[in-house]
């Protein structure tokens, strides 16, 4: 499938993802798995259509605060609904077969297909078939890029052509 990681830091969030897609055969470098859409950054593992929809979806303007409770409420009440609407508008079920990581104002959220989200108190996240390897590498002190490269050693759905995206 793939490996996408996100790490919260004092200067924002660092995402890293491999560039392998499997579509009838393995293709490397054809598609970015981490994209920006306004004030949001998203990474996905699973259906290719998911990252394309998220990149161009019409999303609400986030609150101009770093207050965790206000941001969590915004994500729950507004952002999730907008994401679900974007998938519905193009008649796609890609959100149900994709793992989605998103960030806004330095906070990372991992979304489930029903719109629920979770946050890791450690500030490290990974989705995709290489996620267990990447999380282990991150816990051991690897950078996001190094973590994806380590995952590529053990996971055939992940390659070592890693792209890094930083967001606030």
User: How far, in Å, CA of 157 to CA of 22, rounded?
Assistant: 8
Structure tokens at 72: 């969590």
For residue 100, what are the CA distances in angstroms to 34, 42, 69, 103, 140? 10, 7, 21, 10, 24
The CATH number that applies at residue 103 is 3.60.20.10
pLDDT at site 102: 97
What local confidence, expressed as pLDDT, does residue 63 receive?
97
Instruction: Write down the pLDDT at residue 28.
Output: 64
Q: 3-class SS at 66?
A: coil
Range of the domain at 94: 4-167
pLDDT of residue 40: 98
Rounded-to-integer distance, Cα 159 and Cα 161, Å: 6
What is the rounded distance in angstroms from the CA atom of residue 25 to the CA atom of residue 43? 22
Residue 32 has what pLDDT?
Answer: 86
Q: What is the pLDDT at residue 47?
A: 83
DSSP 95: G
Count of structural domains within the chain = 1
Q: What is the pTM of this model?
A: 0.92
Estimate to the nearest angstrom the gap between the alpha carbon of 154 and the chain centroid: 20
Tens-digit pLDDT profile for the chain (168 aa)?
A: 799 999 999 999 999 999 987 765 566 666 789 999 999 999 999 888 899 999 999 999 999 999 999 999 999 999 999 999 998 888 777 666 789 999 999 999 999 988 899 999 999 999 999 999 999 999 999 999 999 999 999 999 999 999 999 998
CA distance 30 to 7: 24
Here the tokens at position 18 are 């491999």
């Amino acid at each position: 499938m793939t490996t996408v990681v996100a790490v919260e830091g004092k200067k924002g969030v660092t995402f890293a993802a491999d560039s392998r897609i499997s579509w009838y055969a393995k293709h490397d470098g054809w598609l970015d798995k981490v994209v920006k859409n306004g004030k949001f950054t998203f990474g996905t593992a699973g259906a290719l259509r998911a990252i394309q929809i998220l990149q161009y979806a019409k999303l609400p303007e986030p609150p101009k605060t770093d207050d965790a409770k206000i941001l969590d409420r915004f994500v729950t009440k507004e952002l999730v609904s907008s994401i679900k609407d974007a998938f519905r508008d193009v008649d796609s079920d890609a959100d149900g077969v994709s793992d989605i990581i998103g960030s806004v104002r330095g906070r990372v959220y991992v979304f489930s297909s029903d719109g629920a989200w979770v946050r890791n108190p450690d500030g490290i996240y990974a989705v995709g078939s290489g996620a267990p390897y990447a999380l282990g590498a991150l816990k051991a002190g690897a950078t996001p890029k190094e973590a994806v490269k380590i995952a590529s050693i053990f996971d055939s759905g992940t390659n070592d052509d890693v792209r890094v995206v930083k967001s606030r």
